[in-house]
Amino acid sequence: MSYFDYNATAPIRPEAAAAVIEAMRSVGNASSMHQPGRQAAHRVDVARRQLADLLNCSPGEIIFTSGATEANNLALRAAYTAGNPLVTSPVEHPAVLEAARAVTADQSADLVLLPVGYDGLVDLDALDHAFAARRGGLVSLMAANNETGVLTDLRVATKAAHEAGALVHTDATQMVGRLPIDVAELDIDLLSLSAHKFGGPQGVGALYVRRGSPLPHRPLLVGGGQERGWRAGTLNVAGIIGMGAAAEAAARSLGEEAGRVTALRDRLEHLITGTLPNCRINGRRDQRLPGVTNITFPGVPADAVLAAMPDVAASEGSACASGAPTPSHVLLAMGLSRADADSTIRFSLGYATTDAEIEHAAQAVKRAMTQVRAALAKADGPR
Ligand code: PMP
C-alpha cells in the first residue's frame, strides 16, 4: 500500500506514538492536586511549550481543543462580534465556512467571501474593498488549502486587515509542521491547528490566541473552567502529550523535510504528466505546500481510477457527503467545471513518504488510467 492521503491524516510519528502509549499507562487528571495529577499537568505544560515553540508564541497563548474543527468554531465564535464584517473565502474548509455561516446566521449580509482565481489564490486586493465602507470585524483565511495546497500570503492579508481594524484568524491546519509558521512575525491574532496532520494523534488540536486580543469571553464549552475558562472538560492528556512530541519532531526536521517532500512531489508530478500529457495540475504551482498535488484527468472519473488502484490511498476531488458525491467546493470556486472536479485526484504526501512509493503510485496511475479508459471506450462502443 502506498499512502498518499497526508492531508486527510498523516501517519503518527514514532515519537508521538511512544509518548501517547506512555501517557496512557499513567493515571492522572491534569486538574488534580495530588502527585499523579501534578505529574500529568507537568507533562501537559511540556507539550504546551513544545507546541508554542513550533508557532513562536508563549505557552499561555495556547488553548487545547479536540482538533481544528473545534478550534475554528471557537475562534470565529470568540472573535466575531455581530454587526461587523466577517471576511473569509469560498475555498476554506467547511469547519470555517459553516462556522462563519453560523455566527453570522441572522445577519448574512455581514459574511463576505473574497474572490478566488483559477490558480486557487484568494484575491487579497479585495480586502480593501471589503473594508471600504466599514472598519473592524474579523478576517479568517486559511494558511494552506487542504485540497490544492495553495498558500495564502498571510503577511499581506494581516496588514490589510489590521489597517482596517479587523482581527485575523488563520486555519493553519495544513501548514503547521509542514512549513515554518511564525505567529509573531506574521502578526496573526488567532490560529487553528490539528495534531494528526503533522504526525500527532487524531482528536486533539489547539487554538492560538494572541495575548491581549480584545475577545469577549465566549467559550463553546462551559463547565469545569479548564484552559483558563476557554475550553471546559478534562484535558486529553495523552493526546496533548502526543501532539507535543509530534510538534517537537516536526520542528526539528522542518526545513529538511520540506525540501525532501517537495522533491518527491515534483517527481510524482513529472512521472504522471510525462505519461499522461493531457492531465492538469490545479493551483498555483509556485505557491503551494510541499506535499500536495491536485491533478485533473479530463474525461476520466476519479472514483473509477481510485477503484482501479486499490493499493494507492489517495483521495477524490469530490467528497461523499451523506451518501451523495458532491464536487469539491474548492475546485468549483476556482472555476473548474463539475466534470473536471469529478475527474480530479489529490495526492498528498509527507515526512514518511519514500521514493519507492512515488514510483509505485506513478505506475499504478498509469495502469489504472489505461484500464478505466478501455472500460469507457467499451461502454461507448457499438452495442
Ligand atoms: N481545516 C483544514 C484546512 C483541514 O484540512 C481540516 C481536516 N481535514 C480541518 C480544518 C479539520 O480538522 P479536524 O478534523 O482534525 O478537526
Between the CA of residue 279 and those of 43, 64, 259, 296, 357, what are the distances in Å? 49, 42, 25, 6, 21
CA-203 nearest atom, ligand 1? 15
Please report the pLDDT score of residue 75 as a whole number: 98
Question: Measured in angstroms, how far is the CA atom of residue 16 from the centroid of ligand 1?
Answer: 19
Which stretch of DSSP H or E encloses residue 260? helix 254-275
Residue type, 278: N
pLDDT given at position 119: 98
Using the atom order of ligand 1, give the atom closest to the CA of residue 72.
10
Ligand 1 binding pocket mutation candidate from 5, 69, 348 (most atoms within 8 A of CB): 69
CA-based angle 357:363:366, to the nearest 5? 140
Catalytic residue among 18, 82, 320, 339: 320
Judged by DSSP in three states, 162 sits in helix
Q: Are the beta carbons of 29 and 168 closer than 8 angstroms? A: no
pLDDT of residue 321: 54
> What's the 318 CA to ligand 1 centre distance in angstroms?
16
**Residue 381: predicted pLDDT:** 79
Q: Which residues of 204-225 are buried (b: 16+ CB within 10 A; e: fewer)?
A: bbbbbbbeeeebeeebeeeeee
- β-pair type (190-194, 167-171): parallel
The protein residue whose alpha carbon is closest to atom 7 in ligand 1 is: 8
Sole residue written with cell 490544492:
148
Domain range annotation of the chain = 2-9+254-377, 14-252
Write down the pLDDT at residue 383.
Answer: 61
Tell me if 276 sits within 8 A of 366, measured CB to CB. yes
Which residue owns the Cα nearest ligand 1 atom 9? 68
The closest of 246, 334, 320, 332 to 283, measured between CA atoms, is 334
Task: Give pTM, 2 decimals.
Answer: 0.97
CA 13-17-23 angle, to 5 degrees, is 145
Q: Supply the pLDDT for residue 141.
A: 98
Q: Ligand 1: residues within 6 Å at CB?
A: 67-69, 93, 95, 142, 146, 171, 173-174, 194, 196, 205
3-state SS, residue 228: helix
SS3 content of the chain, % helix, strand, coil (to 5): 45, 15, 40
Identify whether the C-beta of residue 328 lies closer than 8 Å to the C-beta of residue 317: yes
- Residue in 194, 197, 346 to alter for ligand 1 test, most ligand atoms within 8 A of Cβ: 194
Residue 289 Cα to ligand 1 midpoint, Å, equals 15
Concerning whether 57 is annotated as a catalytic residue, the answer is no
Task: Give residue 307 CA to ligand 1 midpoint distance, Å.
Answer: 25
The closest-lying atom of ligand 1 relative to the alpha carbon of residue 67 is 16
Q: How far is CA 248 from CA 18, 143, 182, 313, 364, in A?
A: 13, 20, 15, 27, 35
Going from the Cα of 69 to the center of ligand 1, the distance in angstroms, rounded, reads 6
Grid cell in block for residue 109:
449580509
Which ligand 1 atom is the nearest neighbour of the CA of 8?
8
| Span from the CA of 378 to the centroid of ligand 1 (angstroms) | 40
Report the distance separating Cα 59 and Cα 68, nearest Å: 18
Q: Which residues of the chain have pLDDT under 70?
A: 318-324, 383
Measured in whole angstroms, the distance separating CA 76 from the mean position of its chain's CA atoms is: 16
Helix axes 35-55, 237-252, angle to 10 degrees: 30
Q: What is the pLDDT of residue 107?
A: 75
Answer yes or no: are the C-beta atoms of 94 and 101 closer than 8 Å: no
Cell numbers that stand for 112 in this block: 463576505
DSSP 293-307: EEEE-TTS-HHHHHH
| pLDDT number for residue 320 | 55
**Residue 111: other Cβ atoms inside 10 A:** 17
Q: Which residue has the cell 499561555?
A: 60
CATH architecture of 14-252: 3-Layer(aba) Sandwich (3.40)
Residue 351 forms beta bridges with which residues? none
**Which atom in ligand 1 lies closest to the alpha carbon of residue 95?**
10
Q: Ligand 1: distance of its center to the CA of 174 in Å?
A: 8
In sequence order, the 6+-apart residues with CB closer than 8 A to the CB of 363 are none
CATH topology for 2-9+254-377 is: Aspartate Aminotransferase, domain 1 (3.90.1150)
Q: Determine the residue of 173, 181, 220, 289 to mutate for testing ligand 1's pocket, defined as the one with the most ligand atoms within 8 A of the Cβ atom.
A: 173
Question: In angstroms, how far is CA 175 from the centroid of its own chain?
Answer: 7
CA angle 249, 252, 255 (to 5 degrees): 120
Cross-strand pairs, 112: 87
